Amino acid sequence: MARSTHIESFGRQVLECLPSGILVVDVTSRVLFLNSEAARIFEVVRDEFVGMMLVSHARFRPLIASINQYRRRTPALIPSRQQFEGAIVRNDGRVLPLGFSISNLVNSRRRVLGYVMIFRDLTDVQRLRERARHSEMMAALGTMAAGVAHEIRNPLHTIRAALDVLELRLARQEDPERYLEVVRREIQRADRTVDEILDYSKRAEAHYRRQDILECLRRAVGLVRRPAGIQVVERLDQEIPALYFDNERMLRVFINLIENAVDAMEDRGTITLGAERLPLGTAEGVVANIGNVAIEVGDDGPGIAPADLVHVFEPFFTRKSSRGGTGLGLAICQRIVEEHGGQIEVASSAGKGTRFRVVLPVREVMGEG
Ligand SMILES: Nc1ncnc2c1ncn2[C@@H]1O[C@H](COP(=O)(O)OP(=O)(O)O)[C@@H](O)[C@H]1O
Ligand SMILES: [Mg+2]
């Protein structure tokens, strides 16, 4: 007897020492117990708070909502713990972020008597998260800025060098044409870089409609200039369902892919367009997804070296800088496809060619036929 009282008082002391708030309520939300950290977090006087109904305080509604959620998710008889995050408003109006777990309190006959909640003040954790997010953003911005600076400065340097030569040539009354051409080309390149950077970074207002993706693909083919030696063949499954996409944005994707294929093959070769419907349920996590469609743009050009393959979707990665490449084409493609809930993949083998594959979800959209 004396021994069990000892253990009880020992247990209570442990609860008081914990840096976490502990709150126990019964199934009607009546407060059965709280430790001093919980009293501190909730700014309540402990003895007054015990016996109160949590539901009758607006401040504690979020906790009740979590308990209800827990109840719906957890089979009553199994004492299991679940994690939640929430916040309560302090008396001074500040919002206190809380992490907490809920477990059910079960008696020896496995009846649920109530709920045990263990709270942690997440103020510091959130501050750290915020700081980490901020430094990640700054790092990304730094990388982007370095890339932009480099891409703009390159043509500027070339232009300056060309102007030096031009000056000399004009002084000697030699033909300036070639150097004027360099200046023109480099200005165009810088201009395009700026356009593509804007394209890459803008969250353009999307105009999603249910429409024919093959029509979009064919339009892209028509818009890319190619040498007569490059032919385009279609290997299309005509059963492709209408997809839900932004026509201008997807057109941009296909143009970029076809332009790359043309660039890779130079004078002659074959571009193969493919489209197939993939079996149901291959993409996870999209509730209304009822399958996928894969669109392919393949070429029989030189292929991409394995070491380059992992980098091709990175902004500013290019092997064509001497030919006006910006390295933003595929980065833009990836962004657009991901905005559509899809994926873009590449497969390539040296000497045989390259195949880009855009996988888009077939969606039932609420309120649409
Ligand atoms: N079809 C392709 N065949 C071979 N290499 C390709 C192909 N598509 C892309 N690449 C490689 O990926 C790089 C990045 O492409 P992209 O992002 O469109 O930038 P850019 O075309 O401006 O270089 C290209 O420079 C090229 O090296
Ligand atoms: Mg490109």
354 ligand 1 Cβ < 6 A: yes
pLDDT of 302 reads 96
Within this chain, do residues 107 and 145 fall inside the same structural domain, yes or no? Answer: no
Q: Are strands 343-349 and 353-363 parallel, antiparallel or unpaired?
A: antiparallel
Of 94, 121, 148, the last residue of a domain is 121
Query: Across the chain, what does the average pLDDT equal?
Result: 86
Quote the CA–CA distance of 297 and 346 in Å, as a whole number.
Answer: 10
Of 153, 177, 202, the last residue of a domain is 202
Are the C-beta atoms of residues 305 and 350 closer than 8 Å to each other? yes
Are the C-beta atoms of residues 334 and 313 closer than 8 Å to each other? yes
Within 8 A by CB and 6+ apart from 138, the residues are none
Q: What is the pLDDT of residues 306-356, one digit of tens each?
A: 999 999 998 888 898 777 788 889 998 998 999 898 999 999 988 899 999
Of 168, 202, 236, the last residue of a domain is 202
Q: What is the pLDDT of residues 104-158, one digit of tens each?
A: 888 888 788 999 999 999 888 889 988 888 887 777 777 778 778 888 888 899 9
34 ligand 1 Cβ < 6 A: no
Alpha-carbon radius of gyration of the chain = 32
Which domain does 40 fall in, by range? 2-121
Q: Is residue 344 part of a domain?
A: yes
111 ligand 1 Cβ < 6 A: no
253 ligand 1 Cβ < 6 A: no
304 ligand 1 Cβ < 6 A: yes
357 ligand 1 Cβ < 6 A: no
Q: What is the pLDDT of residues 193-230, one digit of tens each?
A: 888 887 777 666 778 899 999 999 999 999 999 999 99
Q: How confident is the model at residue 63 (pLDDT cuts 50, 70, 90)?
A: confident
**260 alpha carbon – ligand 2 mean position (Å):** 5
Q: Is residue 116 part of a domain?
A: yes
292 ligand 1 Cβ < 6 A: no
Q: Is residue 50 part of a domain?
A: yes
Quote the CA–CA distance of 239 and 8 in Å, as a whole number.
Answer: 72
Length of the chain: 369
Within this chain, do residues 107 and 142 fall inside the same structural domain, yes or no? Answer: no
pLDDT of 290 reads 65
**257 alpha carbon – ligand 2 mean position (Å):** 7
Within this chain, do residues 331 and 190 fall inside the same structural domain, yes or no? Answer: no
How many domains are there within the chain?
A: 3
CATH number of the domain bearing residue 147: 1.10.287
Q: What is the pLDDT of residues 1-44, one digit of tens each?
A: 556 677 778 888 899 988 899 999 999 999 999 999 999 999 99
**261 alpha carbon – ligand 2 mean position (Å):** 9
Mean pLDDT value across residues 258-287: 79
Distances (CA, A) of 174 to 10, 168, 181, 354: 99, 8, 15, 45
Token pair listed for 54:
């949590």
Name which residue sits closest to atom 1 of ligand 1, judged by CA: 261
Residue to mutate, 195, 196, 232, 260, ligand 1, most ligand atoms under 8 Å from C-beta: 260
DSSP letters for 331-357: HHHHHHHHHTT-EEEEEEETTTEEEEE
pLDDT of 73 reads 78
Within this chain, do residues 260 and 298 fall inside the same structural domain, yes or no? Answer: yes
114-123, 153-162, 166-175, 234-243: range with lowest mean pLDDT: 234-243
Name which residue sits closest to atom 7 of ligand 1, judged by CA: 260
